[in-house]
Amino acid sequence: MKIAITITAPQTDAPADPRFGRAAAFCVIDTDSGAREAHPNPALEAASGAGVRAAQTLIDLGVEAVISGAYGPKAHQVLAAAGLGLYLAPAEVKELDALIERFQSGALARAETATNGGHAHA
């Protein structure tokens, strides 16, 4: 399974970034093979809609689950519409290995909440 964690620099050993839309980068992890790739977050350049752009980036990367500190309403809406699992990284856990382990053992809480800030036109 392919998962993504928001990270503070575009390196596979960077610590977790608590922000989603304005995270520095994403670490995409293949939990089966253990392979990791760091992708800079193109939404950092965005004047508006950073959350939407970041969410689109992860959808295009084929990620199935995301781990971050918090999700804005638009990002949450897009990721949920694409069927991704959204998990919350506890503030004190910064290390990717620790987060992956917690994810795999089912210890991470799901981000269920999002105030509805946009409209879906299905």
The rounded distance, in Å, linking the Cα atoms of 79 and 65 is 9
Question: For 51-81, b where at least 16 C-beta lie within 10 A, e where not — what string?
Answer: bbbbbbbbeeeebebbbbbbbbebbbbbbbe
* Cα–Cα dist 70/86, whole Å: 10
Binding site for other proteins (CB under 8 A): 43, 46-50, 52-53, 55-56, 59-60, 74, 77-78, 81-83, 117-122
Would you say 12 or 56 has its CB closer to other proteins? 56
As measured in angstroms, the least distance from the Cβ of 118 to other proteins is 4
Compute the least distance from the CB of residue 46 to other proteins, in Å.
5
In the complex, the smallest distance separating the C-beta of residue 22 from other proteins, rounded to whole angstroms, is 13
What is the Cβ-side half-sphere exposure of residue 33, based on CA atoms within 13 angstroms?
A: 7
Min dist. Cβ of residue 47 to other proteins (A): 8
Please identify which residue in the block is written with the tokens 């922000």.
Answer: 19
Residue with smaller CB distance to other proteins, 7 or 51: 51
